[in-house]
Amino acid sequence: METKKSPRILVFSTDKISDPGIDQAGLRKIHYSPTVYTISLPCSSGIKPRWVMRAFEQGFDGVFIAADGHECSYSSRCPEFTNKIIEECQKQMTEKGISPKRIRMAAICSVCAEPFASHMANFTKILAELS
């Protein structure tokens, strides 16, 4: 087994923009915590709150949404939609006694390798402090 467990983070990325950014981090060996797992979707506005809640049920410590922000090719309202989803998740999380700080979002672009790694480092720190 892993010795000291670092917080487990589930990342929702997007096929065309943020996932390539995360790939870049790997390619350039810009390291982040190995307890980060990524699921890539067409658009961050398609994340269902029930998936987020499933992650917490399965012992994830945090959920990070690597969104396209204003670069989204589907909708100019993407940031607004994604924000609404996060609000809904936070509502459900609070009901279950999970800190709303355990979900985060940032725009990650297709070359955002360093920003992604530093978001992961930050979030890992925040989550470690929370528990």
Partner 1 sequence: MEEKQKKQRIGVYICHCGGNISDYVDVEQLRDIVGQEENVAVSKNVMFACADSNQKEMIKDIQEKHLDGIVVASCSPKLHLHTFRGVAERAGLNPYNYVQVNVREQCSWAHSDHPDQASYKAAGLIRAGIRRVSSSEALTNIEVKATKSVVVIGAGLAGMRASIDLARMGNQVVLVEKEPVAGGQMAGKGPVFPTNQKGQELVNTLLGEIRKLPKITLFTSATVDKVTGSIGNFKVDIKVNGTPGEVMSFPAGAILVTTGYESYIPKEGEYGFTEGGRVITMKEFEKMVDSSNSSLSYKGKPVKTIAYIYCVGMRQTKGENKYCSRSCCTAAIHSSIMVHEKFKGIKAFHLYRDIRTYGKNEILYEKSSRLGDTFLMYQEKEPPSVVQGKNIVNVKIKDSLTKKRELELDADLVVLVTGMVPRNDSQDIANKLKIPIGNDKFFNEIHPKLRPVETVINWVFLGGSCQGPKNITESVQSAMAASAKINAIIRKDTLELEPIVARIDAEACTWCGKCQEVCEYDAIFQIETNGKVVASVNDPVCKGCGICAPICPADAIDIAQYTNAEIEGMIDGFSQQVDLNIEKGKSGQEGDAGGMKDFPQIWKSIMENLSEEPKTIPQIAAGIQQPSELVTWHLMTMNKYYIVESAGIDDNDEYFLYKLKNQAK
| Positions that interact with partner 1 (CB under 8 A) | 1-3, 8, 10, 19-20, 22-32, 34-35, 37-43, 45-51, 54-55, 58-60, 73-75, 77-78, 81, 85, 88
Residue 74 CB, nearest distance to partner 1 (Å)? 4
β-partners of residue 107 are 67
Rank residues 80 and 94 by Cβ distance to partner 1 and give the closer one. Answer: 80
Q: How far apart are CA 58 and CA 22, in angstroms?
A: 23
Residue 89 CB, nearest distance to partner 1 (Å)? 10
Rank residues 87 and 130 by Cβ distance to partner 1 and give the closer one. Answer: 87
Residue 127 CB, nearest distance to partner 1 (Å)? 16
Q: Which tokens is 56 given?
A: 């917490």
Q: Which amino acid is at 91?
A: K
Residues near 6 by beta carbon (within 8 Å), at least 6 away in sequence: 33, 34, 35, 124, 128
Could you count the other beta carbons within 10 Å of the beta carbon of residue 42?
12
Rank residues 10 and 103 by Cβ distance to partner 1 and give the closer one. Answer: 10
